[in-house]
Amino acid sequence: MIADLFSNNKFRLVCLLWIAVSIFCWQYKYFNNRYNNYSIFAGVYHHTVAQTNLYSQYPAEYFDTNHYGPLFSLVVAPFAVLPTGLGFFLWNLMNAGVLIWAVTLLPIANNRKILLLLLTVIEFANTQHSIQFNPVIAAFIIFSFYMVEKEKDEWAAFFIIMGTLIKLYPIVGLVFFIFSKRKPAFIIWCVVWAAVGVGLPMLISSPGFILQSYADWYHSLSDKNIQNIGLNSAQDLSMMGVVRRITSNLNVPNLPFLLVGAGTLGLAVLRVKQFRFITYRLQVLALTLLIVVLFSTGSEPPTYIIAAIGAMLYLMMQEHPFKGSNLAFVVFIGLIAALASTDAIPAFIRKPYLSRYAFKVWPYIALWAVIVYQLLFKNFDHHLEKLRIVLPSRNRLVNKEGELQQAR
């Protein structure tokens, strides 16, 4: 199925579009000396080797500070040891390639994968323009889901734990534990990979420095969480951030929102009888990609590539993604919200209205509510799982008419 996808001219053209976006962002940033974020990333490797604090400011090298875990030093190492221009160029291509690869693994029809990539290209451009690691974070969450589907729990645990030790967000992949058929193995491998992930950076540094760095990372994230909150902040593009902006009240607490996010997800995944339907499991994946962004004060415009992948996954699962309310979501998420924080919108509209009230977040909140409602109340035992939308999984086959039937 994946081989057929790579032989598809439309898929190749969309891949070329993503690569072209990556190269354009690279040359624009590199030749204008505006690649500060990449300098921070490369600095994680160099400071780990030198055993200098990973979370201090280094104004002679870059402005702002690092917020990634010590394990990130090994992720960025192959790029950091190269000349800056080449390392940065390959970094951008890597971000594109890994997320494209993850999308190809999704159990949906090939034409829907192509549309998903096409409809998220603006958000992808946003994250590449800002030089982020978010495409790989989204891919790690998808990889962990895919590996559970394939009953390769050791690799599901790998992506969850390694991703968490790099940038916390992939920890949401633990929800896929409920779908695992090898739960004891899943738990054991989580412990194994945690030990490996903590220990690996010690190979280029020292045990004492790495352990201290994890404590420093905790304090760095705690401080950043406080700094993120502000009525005009570029961060806090979250559900609670929207409420803070609308009410002009910085004291709106995070906890009630986090409880709602965790509680609704928890209730949704209690529907054990629905587990056997691939559409249900895929919808849980879409929800996890949304909530990790919607309930984080660290969310900013480049983070929304993660949520956009989840949103478009859900929409591409629908029988008619370009009709009615589905079309409205496609337009608002794929186009309007994607452009809301860019110079494509005049500053006199963007700054006092769209940015001030976090308009970018609104359609995602609406879609989150729709997905949660369906996961709580929808009966997924129906005949809409057609071959052209969702592919069979595990114990299901497709007959000639495209209807999914129980495997004999």
On whether the pTM is more than 0.75, the answer is: yes
Output the pLDDT for position 231.
Answer: 87
pLDDT tens, the chain, 408 aa long: 677 787 789 999 999 999 999 999 999 999 999 999 999 999 999 999 999 999 999 999 999 999 999 999 999 999 999 999 999 999 999 999 999 999 999 999 999 999 999 999 999 999 999 999 999 999 999 999 999 999 999 999 999 999 999 999 999 999 999 999 999 999 999 999 999 999 999 999 999 999 999 999 999 999 988 888 888 888 999 999 999 999 999 999 999 999 999 999 999 899 999 999 999 999 999 999 999 999 999 999 999 999 999 999 999 999 999 999 999 999 999 999 999 999 889 999 999 999 999 999 999 999 999 999 999 999 987 644 444 566 654 444 333 333 333 332
| DSSP state at residue 69 | -
Helix (H, G, I), strand (E, B) or coil at 289: helix
Q: What is the dihedral sign for C-alpha 125, 129, 130, 133?
A: positive
Tokens 């186009």, residue located? 335
Burial class from Cβ neighbours inside 10 Å (0-12, 13-18, 19+) for residue 396 reads middle
* Beta carbons within 8 Å of 27's beta carbon, 6+ residues apart: none
**Is there a contact between 173 and 156 (Cβ–Cβ < 8 Å)?**
yes
Q: What is the dihedral sign for C-alpha 245, 249, 254, 260?
A: negative
Output the pLDDT for position 226.
Answer: 87
**What would the two tokens of residue 48 be?**
């780990």
